[in-house]
Amino acid sequence: MTDVQDRSAPPPPARPWPGVRAILRARRWWRVLTSMRTAIILLFLMAIAAVPGSLLPQRSLSPSAVATYFRDHPALAPILDRLGMFEVFASPWFAAVYLLLFTSLVGCLLPRCLEHGRRLRQGPPPTPRHLHRLPDYTRRDVDLDPPAAGELLSRRLKSQRFRVRQEQTADGVTIAAERGRLKETGNLVFHLALLAMLLSLAAGKMWGYEGNVLVTEGNGFCNSFQQYDQYTAGPLVNQDTLSPLCFDLDDFRATYEPDGTPASFTADIGVQERPGASTQGVTIGVNDPFRLDGNRLYVTGHGFTPSFTITLPDGRTFDQLSAPFLPEDNRTFGSQGVVKLPDLGDGSGDGFAIEGFFAPTGVVTDGVLTSVDARPLNPQVALFAYRGYLGLNSGAPQSVYSLDRRQIELGALERIGSANLRVGDSATLDDGTTIRFDGYREFAALQVSHDPAQIAVLISAIFILVGLVANLLLRQQRVFVRLEPRSMGTGQSGPPGSTASAAVLTRGGWDDVQQFVAGLFDDLGDAADGERNTTT
């Protein structure tokens, strides 16, 4: 038997060209990317991706903490480093999630905003043909003809702030009413403000910077990367873009609780908008920064800077040698630090260093100095003196607050004595060098922050709150009514009437919707009774 092709069957659809298939596939993926579900998923992924940045040390914030993590976890740290866990917010995978989220939000919100704008200019949508398929459907006969019933319902709905659309059709009268469109407006405002906040935060990271420096009373610094102890800056920031501000720390004051713990502290500073300009005196505190042209100067901490005078055996004297000592205990402010003198100037190339422990209120027990109070009631210092090569020109990075222990281990830096001193006391070391503890000054830990997008972030946060409140509290309600002439059975007679069909759609809940619809029909019944009484 020979197969006979059915010539009446339609031919199979032609396979689209490869270029057309690629365009169709791209459009399909674009629809998936710009859906609200995808935007929510990407926002959730970005929140998860930011978790390692808060749990692990970041190079941009604390390189020393990252180095410590490598020493403590030699096997795990290299793996995390290859995954970008120590530079989370600068990693390619975090940037990919961030950019995809932006693209999804823009592609999702822009069409919705355009569509919402068109709907705001238009009236309510037309009444659906099949009202019985909608929720909260009700049908009832009333003793008013469709035009009269339609006019009455329109007035009633307008009095309740509904936008009403009444149309005359061949079958009767249709009414479409709507209120609460600002709910969708609030929803769009919330998402647009969220997008604006993300953009503002990104701009702040790109053009913002932050620097920390310790400044002793009587000293100052200018806004320069070279003078900061530690700083972070966006990729579009360089030395030329920094604000040319200079600050002098004139006086520092700390207050303490009855138990001796620090309560608060303030600093009197002199501000110059540029080097050589007139000085403006201001007072700043922990939560009261100085603000100028997008820059903020904070006080984030404080401590003590001991001062020493060194007299060498040949009679040469180096006075007012000082350096900040970093607090180890925030309750008693026992502090450690190093004072370095790179070159003694005798042609030997040797340097001199004092490694010490400063106690604001010192107590010596069995030859060991400890601090019992943060207030400087009995300042003392325990010191170890070193002479030799400090390793400052070795090319290896070295902290200004500690000695290079490798030089001590190699014997290039030799300890030549130790002592416990009060203010004004002196000690003579084994080689004849004399050290005098001259006193102390207080230092303030200052932080300069520049974020050009901080106002934009604040405005975005306000609109996020406004949009969220509007979206949660407002209710979008639509009422559809169809009025048709009431059909009379054969042999029946009576006053003209209508068959009213009503349905309601809500977003945000409507607890008394049934009572509302029943009230509309009751109004029609009352109007019909009043008309009959007038006729009688």
Which secondary structure element, helix H or strand E, spans residue 187, and what is its range? helix 182-207
**Structural domains of the chain, ranges and CATH numbers in brackets:** 25-119 (no CATH), 133-180+476-487+495-535 (3.30.310.80), 203-302+448-462 (no CATH), 303-442 (no CATH)
How high is the pLDDT of residue 490?
A: 46
Q: pLDDT digit string (tens) for 240-260? A: 888 888 999 999 988 887 776
Q: Which residues of 272-282 are buried (b: 16+ CB within 10 A; e: fewer)?
A: beeeeeeeeeb
Residue 164 has pLDDT above 80, yes or no: yes
Q: pLDDT digit string (tens) for 518-536? A: 777 777 766 666 655 555 5
Which secondary structure element, helix H or strand E, spans residue 509, and what is its range? none
**What percentage of the chain exceeds 90 in pLDDT?**
20
C-beta separation of 391 from 351 below 8 A: no
* Closest by Cα among 403, 525, 458 to 149: 525
Cα separation values, 129 from 115, 133, 147, 163, 499, Å: 23, 9, 19, 20, 15
Residue 109 has pLDDT above 60, yes or no: yes
> Considering the entire predicted model, what is its pTM?
0.67
Contacts of 149 (CB under 8 A, 6+ apart): 142, 173, 483, 498, 500, 524, 527
Which secondary structure element, helix H or strand E, spans residue 70, and what is its range? helix 63-72
How high is the pLDDT of residue 354?
A: 92
Residue written as token pair 């970005």: 46
Phi and psi torsions of 460, nearest 5° = -60, -40
- Give one DSSP letter per residue of 74-118, joined into a string: TTHHHHHHHTTTTSGGGSHHHHHHHHHHHHHHHHHHHHHHHHHHH
CA 87 to chain centroid: 17
The one-character DSSP state at 265 is E
Phi and psi torsions of 418, nearest 5° = -150, 160
Distance from C-alpha of 516 to C-alpha of 187, rounded to nearest angstrom: 26
